[in-house]
Amino acid sequence: MVAERDGTALVPGSYDPVTLGHVDIITRAADVFEHVIVAVVNASVRKTESVFDVDERVAFIEAEVAGLGNVEVKPFSNLLVEFARENGASAVVKGLRAISDFEYEFEMNQLNRKMAPDIESMYLMAAPEYSFLSSSGVKEIATFGGDLTGLVPAQVASRLQEALKR
């Protein structure tokens, strides 16, 4: 039985590029919430430059969620909690991988809670098969021409190989 879905949630990230781990989290969030907005970081405070520009990162995700009727993909360049308010979202959903994500997410949670106690952050545990999958790991594999099957969507794999292969 599927419970009635309610509310809007953001699923934020830099998605450079989207992986099947991200797609799993987005799909599971879409099972729980009435409306899901995948929020793609445009201007990041992180110094490292992205491989794909924001339009391309958005397009990769759109291709993967096209079959889900309640998911849309939007870039954002302001504070996540502000973007949540602008879009009427009451929750932020994040994926948690094996141990490594916890400390960072714990800190971000405290900061976001202070700024916006009305927006709840929720965490979905990574599926076992994706627990050690990250965008940065995928980029490293692609740099050396490794096989990305089962890690990223096929379209992303070929674009990434093109972009990074030495």
50 scored as a contact of ligand ADP (CB under 6 A): no
Under the binding rule (CB under 6 A), the answer on residue 120 touching ligand ADP is: no
Question: CB of residue 136 vs ligand ADP: minimum separation in angstroms?
Answer: 6
22 binds ligand ADP (CB under 6 A): yes
Query: Which position has the token pair 């094996």?
Result: 98
In the list 9, 10, 21, 84, the residue contacting ligand ADP (rule: CB under 6 A) is 21
Task: Answer yes or no whether residue 112 interacts with ligand ADP by CB under 6 A.
Answer: no
Residue 68 CB, shortest distance to ligand ADP, in Å, is: 17
Q: Which of 50, 112, 121, 135 binds ligand ADP (CB under 6 A)?
A: 135
Comparing C-alpha atoms, which of 143, 147, 91 is closest to residue 116?
A: 91
- Is 13 a binding residue for ligand ADP by CB under 6 A? The answer is yes
CA distances from 102 to 8, 21, 97 (A): 24, 16, 8
Q: Which stretch binds ligand ADP (CB under 6 A): 7-15, 65-73, 82-90, 109-117?
A: 7-15
Q: How far is CA 79 from CA 39, 46, 108, 153, in A?
A: 11, 14, 12, 29
Closest-CA residue to 80 (of 49, 43, 52, 47) = 43
Distance CA 110, CA 152 (A): 31
Q: Binders of ligand ADP: how many residues, by CB under 6 A? A: 17
